[in-house]
Amino acid sequence: DIQMTQSPSSLSASVGDRVTITCRASESISRFLSWYLQKPGKPPKLLIYGASTLQSGVPSRFSGSGSGTDFTLTISSLQPEDFATYYCQQSFGVPRTFGQGTKVEIK
Amino acid sequence: QVQLVESGGGLVTPGESLTLSCVASGFTFKNYYINWIRQAPGKGLEWVSHISFRNSYSFYTNYADSVKGRFTISRDDAKNSVYLQMTGLRGEDTAVYFCARQPDYSNAYFDYWGQGALVAVSS
């Protein structure tokens, strides 16, 4: 199975901060990488797929980059509604696997 | 609008069976893969299974090793529904189970999710 490792596991940031979350795959997954945001008690919401394609309706402050084994999710200016847990997910192989999550908290 | 609604969750004792349903609306159901993904209390996301759209005469299915041989996924396109039949349930199967839409095999991301159904396995 392809293992996905996110860092950091949690971070504290302020509104307006630039935030970067990284995701590393245990083997090359090309650009088959997606990012999700999840708030407590809610299902995950797709932000980015194909490593860098923004899902329809997602604000442009979110961006993704990377290929192969190393990927990043960047939030250019953190907004109050962005405090949540973020997950990466690979779709290169089966089983589909997720990172362990990165919790973004208010500083 | 796209909607996925899960049902069938509940409290069961270890070894029992349960079947979850996911009813879809707002899109051409037969053209999409559907996945089940679960989340144990306070934990991360774990992919469970997927079922393809109809290919020739059948569907393709896949399962996580943790459920292989115990869970069975199926679909009824006439009812816009996907099912997850769970047998031999264990405590570690306790989770919220989400169904999620996947555009196709190559685009294996999950663009719409249901609200989830809670399955609790306890004696």
pLDDT, tens digit, 9 for 90 and up, residues B12-45: 999 999 999 999 999 999 999 999 999 999 999 9
- Using one digit for the tens of pLDDT, what is the confidence trace for B53-85? 887 778 999 999 999 999 999 999 999 999 999
Interface of B with A (CB under 8 A): 35, 44-47, 50, 62-65, 98, 100, 107-116
Q: Indicate the residue type of A80.
A: P
Residue A14, pLDDT above cutoff 80: yes
The continuous run of DSSP H or E covering B63 comes out as strand B61-63
The end-to-end CA distance of chain B, in Å, is 40
Residue B104, pLDDT above cutoff 90: no
Tell whether A87 is within 8 A of chain B (Cβ): yes
Question: Using a CB-CB distance cutoff of 8 angstroms, which residues of chain B are in contact with residue A36?
Answer: 45, 110
Alpha-carbon distance values, A103 to A9, B42, B120 (Å) = 6, 12, 25
Question: Using a CB-CB distance cutoff of 8 angstroms, which residues of chain B are in contact with residue A55?
Answer: 111
Asked if B101 and B112 count as a contact pair (C-beta separation under 8 A), the reply is: yes
Residue B105, pLDDT above cutoff 80: no
Q: Which two tokens stand for residue B73?
A: 């996924």
Asked if B60 and B74 count as a contact pair (C-beta separation under 8 A), the reply is: no
The end-to-end CA distance of chain A, in Å, is 36
Tell me the three state secondary structure of residue A77.
coil
So what's the pLDDT on residue B56?
Answer: 76
Give the C-alpha separation, B7 to B87, whole Å: 17
- Using one digit for the tens of pLDDT, what is the confidence trace for A24-82? 999 999 999 999 999 999 999 999 999 999 999 999 999 999 999 999 999 999 999 99
So what's the pLDDT on residue A107?
Answer: 87
